[in-house]
Amino acid sequence: MSPYATAGWETFFVAEVGAAAALTGLLFVAVSINLTKILALPQLPGRAGESLMMLVAVLVVASLGLIPGQSRVALGAEILAVATLTWIYPMLLQKRAVVPNAPLRWTLTRVVTHQTGTVPLLICGVSLLIGGGGGLYWLAAGALLSFMAAILNSWVLLVEILR
């Protein structure tokens, strides 16, 4: 199994598509339960959006990996495009959501959580494009870290918001 060819990665891609779809559904439930409270605080709708974007990015990237006969370069470009959008847009949301006089750890936790999930996907795209540096192993790391980040954000939106 090569980190630069999708052959042998099909089971992983299928598992990631299923997990991302299930977690996306759970995120929608978490948001719908506390929608009024989430909308009342200006930084929380963006946090919900970031989580959704990370999960959808994994869903899309894993789906792209299932396209038969796709070249390494094409897949790398597709992953890089998805990862770039998933990295840039939430950063803009985070910039708008900074609350004056709020504890710095709130902002840092949000930024680090987002970066942890998306940066490995960016690296994966570049790695596939150049044919070196780890390839699809970065996708595995990015998918798992995105799941962890989205679950952490979902916890905040479901439980911590009520404290």
CB 114 within 8 A of CB 149: yes
In degrees to the nearest 10, what's the CA dihedral of 116, 23, 37, 111?
A: 10
Question: Does 4 reside within a domain?
Answer: no
Q: What pLDDT is recorded for position 160?
A: 85
Question: Does 39 reside within a domain?
Answer: yes
Question: Does 1 reside within a domain?
Answer: no
Kindly report the CA angle at 135 between 51 and 67, in degrees rounded to 5?
A: 75
Question: Does 2 reside within a domain?
Answer: no
H helical segments located in 34-71: 35-40, 44-65
Question: Does 5 reside within a domain?
Answer: no
Residues of the chain with pLDDT under 70: none
The number of domains in the chain is 1
Q: CA 88 to CA 115: how far, in whole Å?
A: 10
Question: Does 59 reside within a domain?
Answer: yes
Instruction: State the residue range of the domain holding 106.
Output: 10-162
Question: Does 116 reside within a domain?
Answer: yes
- DSSP annotation string for 75-89: HHHHHHHHHHHHHHH
Whole-structure pTM value: 0.92
CB 24 within 8 A of CB 59: yes
